[in-house]
Amino acid sequence: MKPEWKAFLLDAGAEMDNDRVSHYGNPERERSVAVTGDVICDLSHLGLISAHGEEASAFLQGQFTCDVGEVGPGRSLPGAWCTAKGRMICTFRLFNRGDAFYLRLPREQVEAVLKRLSLYVLRAKVSLEDAGGAFIPLGLSGPHAETLLRDAVGGDIPAEANACTRHDGITIIRIPGRHPRFELYGDLESMQRLWQALNVHCAPVGAAQWALMDILAGIPNLYPATAEAFVPQMTNLHLLDGVSFKKGCYPGQEVVARMQYLGKLKRRMYLIHLPVETPPRPGDILVDPAQPSDQPAGTIVDAQLHPDGGAAALAVMQVVSAEAGEPRLEGPEGTPTRVEALPYAFDLAAAP
């Protein structure tokens, strides 16, 4: 995080933990307004990897599940990078700005992914770098976010998920959410002005609340504990335009395609409610008393406290347990979870 931006956030009342905004003095209220009102959020807890060079697009196209050829000034896409066995090393959002592509992913993943991805560059004319300091990243969400952002930038903004625009050096990406939601990237002065314009009508919230919005939107984020745990369809990534079944080869492509056209999904990602006071961590296990003990009912992808009590979580679960069992957190005090509706429908063609 740039020192000037950190000082700006501290002046705005931010409570920090290792360059991550925890809250602005009232986390309980922030949780409530995050799901009902208009909020702004510093996104410095997310990292960026840049790809420069004349062969950057071709290189990324040969590595990722999404169709990199569709990514440009007007379009961004979610995606994943997989092992040869089709297991996702990371999930990300890919966008283009100027002569570079940027992967936005959890900051905890940047170092390992950058090191591993660099091994595949070989003689390709592409350079990969940690671009965490390239921009000031900001999130905006809420029922009036579209109007507020249009008034603040003085121009058109993206009308649908994955669309992008750019105004006065600020890249604007519309992302899925229960309310209109945007990621914004720009230079320090531009983002300070934008924050001040939006702060009149929006409440600032901490990083956990942005993660909660991702959870409620059904967007999977992988962390070190869940790297290589799932194939893309298990996290519904194909339902979010994060997997192309028409592009050429990439690591794990045969496994991903075979599951789509020949296999039956026995595990998929669900939105669940957990009656707990402390949210579980990514990688924590769910069990089902009706299933064999050596077969976990599911794995937590991410979880955050919900303003209505308990925690909201995304979990990759055995379909039979989610739809007919009583999955619960592993442990003697595990209480049955409640499966809730995602904001998108499952792909019936891939159903078991």
Do 182 and 257 fall within a single domain?
no
pLDDT at 326: 86
Q: Residue 221 is encoded by which pair of tokens?
A: 């984020």
Do 246 and 326 fall within a single domain?
yes
- CA gyration radius, the chain: 20
Number of folded domains in the chain?
2
Do 311 and 199 fall within a single domain?
no
CB 11 within 8 A of CB 197: no
Cα distances from 284 to residues 86, 178, 265, 314, 339, in angstroms, run 22, 26, 21, 11, 17
CATH number at residue 34: 3.30.1360.120
3-state SS string for the chain: CCHHHHHHHHHCCCEECCCCEEECCCHHHHHHHHHHCCEEEECCCEEEEEEECCCHHHHHHCCECCCHHHCECCECEEEEEECCCCCEEEEEEEEEECCEEEEEEEHHHHHHHHHHHHCCCCCCCCEEEECCCCCEEEEEECCCHHHHHHHHHCCCCCCCCCEEEEECCEEEEEECCCCCEEEEEECHHHHHHHHHHHHCCCEEECHHHHHHHHHHHCCCCCCHHHCCCCCHHHHCHHHHCCCCCCCCCCCCHHHHHHHHHCCCCCEEEEEEEECCCCCCCCCCEEECCCCCCCCCCEEEEEEEECCCCCEEEEEEEEHHHHHHCCCEECCCCCCECEEECCCCCCCHHHCC
Do 313 and 269 fall within a single domain?
yes
Domain end: 153, 185, 219, which one? 219
Burial category of 3 from C-beta neighbours within 10 Å (exposed 0-12, middle 13-18, buried 19 and up): exposed
pLDDT digits (tens, 9 = 90+) for 156-177: 899 999 999 999 899 999 999 9
CATH number at residue 257: 2.40.30.160
CB 208 within 8 A of CB 216: no
Do 232 and 323 fall within a single domain?
yes
pLDDT at 348: 44
Q: For residue 348, tell me if it sits in a domain.
A: no
Average pLDDT over the chain, rounded to an integer: 93
Domain end: 219, 235, 262, which one? 219
Q: For residue 41, tell me if it sits in a domain.
A: yes
Domain end: 171, 203, 219, which one? 219
Q: For residue 325, tell me if it sits in a domain.
A: yes
pLDDT at 332: 61
Whole-angstrom distance, CA of residue 25 vs CA of residue 205: 9
Do 81 and 114 fall within a single domain?
yes
Q: For residue 14, tell me if it sits in a domain.
A: yes
| CA 318 to mean position of chain CA atoms | 22
Do 137 and 15 fall within a single domain?
yes
Which backbone phi and psi does 299 adopt, to 5 degrees? -135, 135
Do 3 and 135 fall within a single domain?
yes
Which parts of the chain sit beneath pLDDT 50? 348-352
Whole-angstrom distance, CA of residue 35 vs CA of residue 209: 9
Amino acid identity for residue 201 in this structure: H
Do 29 and 134 fall within a single domain?
yes
pLDDT at 260: 83
Q: For residue 292, tell me if it sits in a domain.
A: yes
pLDDT at 264: 77
Amino acid identity for residue 11 in this structure: D
pLDDT at 349: 42
Q: Residue 135 is encoded by which pair of tokens?
A: 């921009």
Do 40 and 177 fall within a single domain?
yes
Q: For residue 346, tell me if it sits in a domain.
A: no
Do 142 and 127 fall within a single domain?
yes
CB 202 within 8 A of CB 18: no
Whole-angstrom distance, CA of residue 126 vs CA of residue 119: 12
pLDDT at 352: 34
Q: For residue 164, tell me if it sits in a domain.
A: yes
Do 173 and 214 fall within a single domain?
yes
pLDDT at 275: 92
Q: For residue 35, tell me if it sits in a domain.
A: yes
pLDDT digits (tens, 9 = 90+) for 178-207: 999 999 999 999 999 999 999 999 999 999
What domain range is 91 assigned to? 1-219
Give the list of residues 6+ apart from residue 273 with CB closer than 8 angstroms, or none.
306, 310, 311, 312, 313, 337, 338, 340
Which backbone phi and psi does 275 adopt, to 5 degrees? -80, 70
